[in-house]
Structure 1
Amino acid sequence: MALDYSTLKTLRKNHPAWKLLVADHSPLIAGFVHKIFIAPNRRRMGQADLASALEDYLFTLRETEGQDAFPRRAEAYLDEWASQEKGWLRKFYPQGSDEVHYDLMPWVEKALAWLENLVQSPFIGTESRLMTIFDLLHQMVQGTELDARSRIQSLERQKAEIDAQLARVREGHMDMLDDTALKDRFLLINKTARELLGDFREVEYNFRRLDQKTREQIALWEGSKGTLLENFFGERDVIAESDQGKSFNAFWDLLMSPTRQDELSTLLHKVFELGAVKELSPDMRLKRIHYDWLEAGEQTQRTVAKLSGQLRRYLDDQAFLENRRIMQVIQSIESQGVQIKNNLPGNDFMTIDESSPGVWLPMERPLYTFPVKPVIEEIVSLGDGSDIPSDILHAAVFVDRLKLKGIIRNCLQTQDQVTLEQILEAHPLEQGLAELVTYLSLAGDDEKALFDESRNHRVSWTDKRGVTRGAQFCAVIFNR
């Protein structure tokens, strides 16, 4: 986008980030939302808790700025910041709650990032950014090279450099990064990691805007279901196939890899133990930044799930209306049959004993097929040509659903409701994750069971190899 005069004039008039920077109380707004939302990576907050936090923040400011500096109550400030004219906070009712909640809009985070750049940093790193540029350029050039010979030559050069490094290490000459290089790289990591959280908020906003548009279309739709679904999936594909959508999906797939998560945790732990990093007094939240990424990404995925749920409810309503119309037609036919019962037509009219005629077309009868007799051999051949013993087929884990149902019923005999955590404490997992998934499946099929996403439970078990495993899930409540 070109930053010409007309574009900047439009942004100054309409963009919420620019309005925030020129607001009368912009230091109050920026400082408060950074403390409450950005620093702890909080995605949403109830009105009572947020108003209480703002009152405490205003009380501290009034002691230094004077009692007349901020005369209004916290609720009034929150309502103004969430108004359509300002648009800095999103005011909404989350599913399953009757309390108003607030969330930060993505453009506010952009404004705060710009303000952070205004603060003079004690150390400005340039080497790591230059190396990042070189690495990205190499990836782009090598990733688009079609000449096999050129690619081979490039890989050979990399191999030669690695062999030379191995030789130096074997001789006892190891290249070590000094404190300046370590600080340079750590600050770049810290900045990039925090920017990723802001990107999550913007992606979530894009999906939420699509959800709102879909709800409006469903409310006013008078055409066919197929056309509505085609329009919805077309717009969703545009987001998914866009550069932002592809990058987000690739990032999410990489982050969800357990191997990558363990590797990232190990690397962050080692980096925070370095003396040069300790001198920077780093924010300890960076040590668990990948968990913040997971939490922010999960919030985005929940927004996508709401889209699917909205469409499912629409299809269920349409199916109900169509079934109701079919029943009306059938009742109309039956009523007409009763009316002509006592006033039959001429001799061409016939009667049948059944309530409806049965029609069997000759071409609908299937031809005879010989039954297949399976032959189980000792060795099972795979598609890739390798063989495995057939005993593996009998080593599959079988979870008895009836047994687990009996455990749940026994727990409910003495109390009206029981959580899955209480059940697992009394009856520990014997078959690991498969048994836990079966419990969750039973809860999903039970109309009286409840899933409380506001609380999380954790369970651990030891597998056959003696390795301790663990899983975290939302609270599940079984009711009598």
Structure 2
Amino acid sequence: MDFATLETLRQKHPAWRLLVVDHAPLIISFLHGVFLEANARSLPQRELVLRLEDHLHALRERLGEDAFPRTAEAYLEEWAANGRGWLRKFYPPDTDEPHFDLTPAAERAIRWLVQLTERPFVGTESRLLTIFDLLKQMTEGTEVDPQARLAELERRKGELEAEMERLRAGHLELMDESAIKDRFQQMADTARGLLSDFRELEHSFHELDRVLRERIATWEGSKGELLEAVFGERDAISGSDQGRSFRAFWDFLMSPARQEELTLQLERVLAHPAVRALHPDPRLTRIHFDWLEAGEHTQRTVARLSEQLRRYLDDRAWLENRRIMQLLRGIEQHALAVRAHPPGRAFMELEEPAPAMELPLERPLFSPPSRPRMVDASVLEATEEIPAEALFQQTFIDKAQLRENVRHALRAREQVSLAELLQEHPLQHGLAELVAYLSLAVEDRHAAVEEAQPQTLFWTDARGCMRRAVLPLVRFHR
């Protein structure tokens, strides 16, 4: 924290510039209400302009018509400019409308301002217990002596048995209200901080995506060198401490049992009278679903990196094939030009062929084939009654026939959607056949799965019931 570093941060860091800008109350109040309070990851420009116009109208009624004279579009463009860096303007796939997202620097500044407000309760016990718990986990996780670990587990076992005996005797120890408030406040701050970490992690992947696009656009070397460099960076990110921590967190959160456990515990805690006295944010009941949504955005960013690599490989393969065809056409034209008047002298040279030598000791030895042993055993007659219905309930999906349906539909058109294909060839085996079509779309490099455009498919099952499935739009191309 020396003078030169702080001076550089004051001039260039977006969070510091946001705190000292003239209209900071306008910017922070709007961004906090639209993005952080609503937990919105990205919003289209049309919706964001309407919300900012409503916000400006309410401020002008209170402060006068001369307050904030610029339009909502002008304010948004200024906040997303390179000199500001409080909003990120981008175009999502398959859309021409710009979207805006809050940058990690702006969110960090807003979070800091939220901490300046007076909190209804300030507790320190939970933080101290957290420090002791973390230190205990680190010391136990780095202990290499098995006897020491066993001694610690035996000590914990004794404490649990003693607590169970007290409960059997009717001595029930309950946590007081101050301790409940202290732990709940720390839990809520940590839960909201996780959402901020997701936005910062997504920003890191966006930066990687931008660097990858620039490298592909300006690359002049071979495909192998580019892929080696890109995959090296990708493996470095996945193998870093931050990447391993995110992967462990995501695997833990994706467990249905953990999600159900979190839901039940949050409902129980928020229903406690001591917690209700703090007037908690009702969105905390579904904070783990907000984590899932934020994590999904991060995963989609990683998927776009893979899409960029695939597109680069397809384009480079097309260019190389085109170059090969040009060389072959040139050879054919030269051959036709000299067909009537072949050159009299040698115009092509080949190295003199040399005999291939194979030494006797380099030949493999003969391996006699193994002979199966036949055992003469009497066949026993089965006496148990085994139901055979399961053998007749098996469903076989012929993927070759499904591929033929797709090829037949593409004979008269360039592309066909899955819904149009099912109108010509209705489902015979229900959901299993639909999953087989999706498997064909994933395996086919000419097929496209557009997740931004959902489609609804209907079919009638064997019992005559109408079934419905909502899935991304699937297109098969010729």
* TM-score, with structure 1 as normaliser: 0.79
| SS of equivalent residue, structure 1 residue 161 | helix
* Residue in 1 that maps onto 2:51: 53
**Corresponding position of 2:96:** 98
Partner residue in 2 for 1:331: 329
| Equivalent position SS for 1:91 | strand
C-alpha distance in structure 2 between counterparts of 1:429 and 1:177, whole Å: 60
Question: Distance between the aligned counterparts of 1:456 and 1:132, measured in 2?
Answer: 48
Cα separation, partners in 2 of 1:472 and 1:260, compared to 1, 3 Å: farther
Q: Residues of 2 paired with 1:325 and 1:476: CA distance?
A: 33
Give yes or no for contact 2:15–2:109 (8 Å, CA) kept in 1: yes
Change beyond 3 A, Cα 1:168–1:401 = farther
Alignment partner, residue 452 of structure 2: 453
Matches within 5 A, 1:294-443: 294-344=292-342, 398-399=396-397, 437-442=435-440
Determine the structure 2 residue equivalent to 1:24: 22
Contact 2:427 2:433 in 1 (8 A): no
Distance 2:55 2:138 in 1: 48
**Does the aligned pair in 1 maintain the 2:42–2:99 contact within 8 Å?**
yes
> Which residue of structure 2 lines up, in the alignment, with residue 216 of structure 1?
214
Q: 1:226 aligns with which of 220, 224, 227?
A: 224
Q: Which amino acid aligns with 2:255?
A: S
Secondary structure of 1:18's match? helix
State the AA in 1 paired with 2:268.
K
Change (3 A) 1:429 1:11: farther
Instruction: Give the drift of 1:337.
Output: 3.0
Match of 2:145 among 122, 144, 147: 147
How far the C-alpha of 1:129 sits from its partner, in A, is: 1.2
**Equivalent residue for 2:81, pick from 63, 80, 83:** 83
Match of residue 381 from structure 1: none
For the 8 Å contact 1:16–1:108, the answer to whether it is kept is yes
Deviates more, 1:114-123 or 1:169-178: 169-178
Q: Which moved more, 1:439-448 or 1:190-199?
A: 439-448
Q: What's the secondary structure of 1:453's corresponding residue?
A: strand
Which runs of no fewer than 5 residues in structure 2 stay unpaired?
Answer: 348-355, 359-363, 374-388, 408-414, 459-467
Match of 1:38 among 21, 32, 36: 36
Query: What fraction of aligned residue pairs are identical, expressed as a percent?
Result: 52
8 A Cα contact 2:89 2:98, kept in partner: yes
Change beyond 3 A, Cα 1:367–1:268: farther
- For residue 407 of structure 1, report the CA deviation from its aligned partner: 11
2:205 alignment counterpart:
207
Deviation, structure 1 residue 32: 0.6
Alignment of 1:104-119 (within 5 A): 104-119=102-117
Determine the structure 2 residue equivalent to 1:7. Answer: 5
How many Å apart are 1:272 and its aligned residue?
1.9
| 1:272 match | 270
Q: Is the 8 A contact 1:397 1:431 kept in 2?
A: no
* Distance in 1 between residues matched to 2:214 and 2:102, nearest whole Å: 23
Shift of 1:458: 11
Q: Which string of whole-angstrom CA distances, capped at 9 and with x for unpartnered residues, describes residues 204-254 of structure 1? A: 111110111111111111111122112212222222222222211111111
- SS where residue 440 of structure 1 aligns? helix
Which residue matches 2:257? 259
Structure 1 residues 328 and 83: alpha-carbon distance in aligned structure 2, compared to 1, 3 A threshold: same
Kept in 1, the 8 Å contact 2:427–2:434? The answer is: no
Specify whether residues 338 and 429 from structure 1 end up closer, same or farther in structure 2 by C-alpha distance, changes over 3 A only: closer
Quick one: which amino acid aligns to residue 155 of structure 2?
Answer: R
**How far is the alpha carbon of 1:330 from its aligned partner?**
2.1
Letter in structure 2 aligned against 1:18: W
Q: Is the 2:45–2:97 contact (alpha carbons within 8 Å) kept by the matching residues of 1? A: yes
**How far apart, CA to CA, are the structure 2 residues paired with 1:305 and 1:288?**
26
Distance 1:418 1:218, change over 3 A: closer
Partner of 2:377: none
Using the TM superposition, give the Cα deviation of residue 440 of structure 1 relative to its aligned residue in structure 2, in angstroms. Answer: 3.0
- Give the alignment of 1:69-80 within 5 angstroms: 69-80=67-78
* SS of residue paired to 2:29: helix
**1:395 offset after TM fit, Å?**
9.3
User: Highest Rg: 1 or 2?
Assistant: 2
Q: CA separation in 2, counterparts of 1:8 and 1:472?
A: 53
Q: Which amino acid aligns with 1:333?
A: I
Q: Report if aligned partners of 2:120, 2:278 keep a CA contact under 8 Å in 1.
A: no
**Aligned-residue RMSD, C-alpha:** 4.2
Q: Quote the Cα distance in structure 2 between the aligned partners of 1:220 and 1:36.
A: 38
Residue 335 of structure 1, CA deviation: 2.8
Residue 128 (str. 1) matches residue 126 (str. 2): yes
Partner AA of 1:194 in structure 2: R
Using the TM superposition, name which of 29-38 and 239-248 deviates more. 239-248
